[in-house]
Amino acid sequence: MTSLIVSIVPYKKPFESVQRAIELCEGFAKLPRDGKIFIKPNIVFWTRAVAFPKWGMITTSRVVEDTVALLKDHGIDDITIGEGTVVMDPKDTRTQRHAYQTLGYDTLQKRYGVKTINVLERPFRKVDLGDDIDLKFNVDALESDFIVDLPVLKTHNQTVVSLGIKNLKGLIDIPSRKKCHSADPVRDLHFMVSRLADRLPPIFTLIDGIYTLERGPAFDGHVRRSNLLVASADILSADLVGATLLGQDPAGVPHLAHAARNHNRPIDLSDVNRVGKSIEEVATPHKYEFEWGENDRNEALPLPLVKTGIQGVSYPKYDLSLCTYCSYLNGLILAAIRAAWKGDPWEDVEVLTGKIMVPTPGKKKTILLGKCMSKLNKDHPDINEMIAIKGCPPKITDIVDALQRSGIDVDPSLFEHYDRLPGMFMRRYEGKTEFDEAFFRVVAP
């Protein structure tokens, strides 16, 4: 019997469902007595401005509390919850604190004695991941005896899925995260992410699929109530099963294929013992890509913008080199362009992002979003009029100015209140009883 066990359990009841998922896969069999435990939830995004759609994006507080309670039942007293949510202002520490308070982690602290940290405020240590790759990891996680990884069951528009291994990206510092989005066609995002678990303490992974997300990782994806838990003491096995449950062939998930090769593992689940529900019973296809197309003028645009009839602007599809900061801005800019369209074509504008794109010959105006793109193409001969936005991350005011200089008269208020944008997407779920805010609360005694 293989020791690589993955449990697939329907979520039915508080505490009991998480307990069953852990017991079936023997997830706490190697839990060290009197050890230091580090819990890594997934809080990919947070805003203090609105009550945004947490479902499918963020680990439920229900799963976090049940996990903490079970650790306490196993005699564990030293428990730290840590996350490093990216915010647009690198100096902003209030948002992470607000997230912890709103999600009920302060109540967990009082009830169970857990500690909470913002990993971006804590020290980091360089870790050699092999092949001349080093990234800086949070020292609290590195110095723990055991990591409990609590990702969400979701697809991801760059890495195909975001599960246990990908969730560990929240443990590295911002320069390391940017480094992962390399322009190197070989040592790309997939290559880097595949190694994130390799030098960490033992990891138990519990994938929270109470809510699942299609075309994640953010609020512009599509949320489903799936009521699933996937658990394993082997992170790669958990991710291989999780990807399959999302309708994604693990062989087509590059970072999982890399990880399997790195560890001399098959990619087809042949060495994984699945217990509980069968994959066939509960798998549901989730798409991961946002679709792009071309309008009548051969201009690249997201498919919804093509269908709107927008002309005079080309916005080539994002690639792996687009990092988290510019990725969020990407969606905001596209929403502003769509809102600014009044039916008259703009003047051959092209918007370039990431670290790889080069200008299309013949465009009249070229917007370079971000420091990386501005540096790459600052002397490119195919640019007629350059409009560079050089910040890292770019300033909102500079983005508005650049779009307006190009002739795209965007509404500045959309950018001034960018942190309210998630509220627009939350309206999709209003009045639907299956989208229950109670999953993201810890009830005070």
Same domain, 242 and 196: yes
171 shares a domain with 39: yes
pLDDT at res. 53: 57
Using CA of residue 46, residue 111, residue 164, residue 126, what is the dihedral sign?
positive
By the 8 A CB rule, do 259 and 196 touch?
no
Residue 406 included in any domain: yes
Shared domain check, 322 and 236: no
**Side chain identity at residue 5, one-letter code:** I
| End position of a domain, from candidates 264, 288, 312 | 288
State the total domains in the chain.
2
Q: Are residues 172 and 308 in the same domain?
A: no
Residue 374 half-sphere exposure toward CB, CA atoms < 13 A: 15
Phi, psi (degrees; rounded to nearest 5) at 382: -85, 5
Q: How far apart are CA 393 and CA 20, in angstroms?
A: 43
Task: Give me the domain span that covers residue 88.
Answer: 5-288
Q: Is residue 271 part of a domain?
A: yes
**210 assigned to some structural domain:** yes
Confirm if 116 and 109 have CB atoms less than 8 A apart.
yes
278 and 342 together in one domain: no
Same domain, 387 and 296: yes
Q: Consecutive 10-residue runs of the chain (445 residues): their mean pLDDT?
A: 85 97 96 95 90 83 98 96 88 91 95 97 97 96 98 97 98 96 95 98 98 92 96 98 98 98 96 97 96 96 96 97 89 93 96 97 97 96 97 92 97 86 83 92 83
Alpha-carbon dihedral angle through residues 157, 158, 160, 161, given to the nearest 10 degrees: -90
159's torsion region: left (phi>0), alpha (psi -120 to 50) or beta? alpha
User: Whole-angstrom distance between the N-terminal and C-terminal Cα of the chain?
Assistant: 44
Q: Is residue 300 part of a domain?
A: yes
> Do 256 and 300 fall within a single domain?
no
Q: State the Cα torsion 210-215-216-221 to the nearest 10°.
A: -80
The residue out of 288, 322, 357 marking a domain boundary is 288
Do 129 and 239 belong together in one domain? yes
Domain boundary among 266, 288, 310: 288
Contact between residue 287 and residue 275 where contact means Cβ atoms under 8 Å apart: no
pLDDT at residue 337 in the model = 97
Q: In this structure, what CATH number is given to the domain that contains residue 262?
A: 3.40.50.11440
Q: Which residue type does 265 have?
A: R
> Is residue 45 in some structural domain?
yes
Instruction: Establish if 404 belongs to a structural domain.
Output: yes
pLDDT of residue 52: 59
Residue 54 within a domain:
yes
What is the pLDDT, as a whole number, of residue 1?
Answer: 38
User: 78 and 199, same structural domain?
Assistant: yes
Residues 353 and 271 in one domain: no
Domain shared by 284 and 186, yes or no: yes
Structural domain contains residue 421: no
Verify that 359 and 256 share a domain, yes or no.
Answer: no
